[in-house]
A and B are shown apart, each in its own frame.
Chain A
Amino acid sequence: MKKTLYILAAAMLTLCACSKGADIVGGHDYYYYSPGGSYMMHIADDLIAGALEDLEIARDMGKTEITWASRFTGMTIIKADENVWQLSFEGPFDFDSQTYQTSFVMTATRLNENRHADWDVTFTGNRTEREGYRCSFESLGAITYQALNTSTGWDRLYGHLSMIVYNKDGKKDGCLLHFDGAPSEAQFVRGL
Chain B
Amino acid sequence: MHLIYTMKKLLIALSVLVFSCGTVAAQEHPHELNLFVGGFNSQFLSYSTSMDYTTDLYGLYEPQTRVTTDPALTFEYNYAVLKWLSVGAQVHYNHLNVSTMTRIDNSYDHYHREMFSFLPEVKLRIPSPAHFRLYGKAAIGLSFVPQLSTRFAYDLVPLGCEWAGQRVYGTAELVYGSVIKGGRIGIGYRF
Q: Which of A97-156 contact B (CB under 8 A)?
A: 98, 100, 129-131, 133-135
Q: Contact partner of B104 among A95, A100, A173, CB < 8 A?
A: A173
- Does B58 lie within 8 Å of A190, measured CB to CB? no
Q: Is A165 an interface residue (CB 8 A)?
A: yes
- Does B61 lie within 8 Å of A129, measured CB to CB? no
Q: Which of B100-115 contact A (CB under 8 A)?
A: 103-106
* Interface SS of B by simple majority: helix
- Does A36 lie within 8 Å of B60, measured CB to CB? yes
- Does A134 lie within 8 Å of B57, measured CB to CB? yes
Q: Is A6 an interface residue (CB 8 A)?
A: no
- A39-B60, A167-B57 known; 10 new pairs, CB 8 Å cut-off, are A36-B60, A36-B104, A96-B55, A98-B55, A129-B57, A131-B58, A133-B57, A135-B57, A165-B61, A173-B104
A112 to chain B, nearest CB (A): 34
- Return the CB mask of B49-64 against A: 1 if under 8 Å, else 0: 0000011111011100
A39 to B54, CA, bound (A): 11
- Does A39 lie within 8 Å of B57, measured CB to CB? yes
A133 to B106, CA, bound (A): 19
Residues of B at the A interface (CB closer than 8 Å) are: 54-58, 60-62, 103-106
- Does B60 lie within 8 Å of A35, measured CB to CB? yes
- Does B104 lie within 8 Å of A190, measured CB to CB? yes
Q: Which of B55, B56, B62 has the most CB of A within 10 A?
A: B56
- Does B55 lie within 8 Å of A165, measured CB to CB? no
- Does A133 lie within 8 Å of B58, measured CB to CB? yes
Q: What chain A residues lie within 8 Å of B104 (beta carbons)?
A: 35-36, 173, 190
Q: Contact partner of A172 among B54, B61, B103, CB < 8 A?
A: B61
A97 to B80, CA, bound (A): 60
A75 to B111, CA, bound (A): 49
**Contacts A35-B104, A35-B106 hold; do A167 and B56 have CB atoms under 8 A apart?**
no
A166 to chain B, nearest CB (A): 9
Number of interface residues of A (CB under 8 A): 19
Q: What chain A residues lie within 8 Å of B61 (beta carbons)?
A: 133, 165, 167, 172-173
Residues of A at the B interface (CB closer than 8 Å) are: 35-36, 38-39, 95-96, 98, 100, 129-131, 133-135, 165, 167, 172-173, 190
A133 to B58, CA, bound (A): 6
Q: What chain A residues lie within 8 Å of B55 (beta carbons)?
A: 35, 38-39, 95-96, 98
Q: Contact partner of A98 among B56, B103, B105, CB < 8 A?
A: B56
**Contacts A35-B104, A173-B104, A190-B104 hold; do A98 and B54 have CB atoms under 8 A apart?**
yes
Which A-chain residue is minimally distant from B104 (CB atoms)? A36
A17 to B105, CA, bound (A): 14
Q: Which of B57, B104, B105 has the most CB of A within 10 A?
A: B57
Of all A-B residue pairs in the complex, the 4 with the closest CB atoms, nearest first, are: A133-B57, A98-B56, A131-B58, A35-B103
Q: What chain B residues lie within 8 Å of A172 (beta carbons)?
A: 61
Q: Contact partner of A129 among B56, B103, B105, B106, CB < 8 A?
A: B56
A56 to B65, CA, bound (A): 45
Q: Contact partner of B56 among A36, A130, A173, A190, CB < 8 A?
A: A130
Q: What chain B residues lie within 8 Å of A129 (beta carbons)?
A: 56-58
A139 to B55, CA, bound (A): 22
User: 28 pairs across A/B with beta carbons < 8 Å?
Assistant: A35-B55, A35-B60, A35-B104, A35-B106, A36-B104, A36-B105, A39-B55, A39-B57, A95-B56, A96-B55, A98-B54, A98-B56, A100-B56, A129-B56, A129-B57, A129-B58, A130-B56, A130-B58, A133-B56, A133-B57, A133-B58, A133-B61, A134-B57, A165-B61, A173-B61, A173-B104, A190-B104, A190-B105
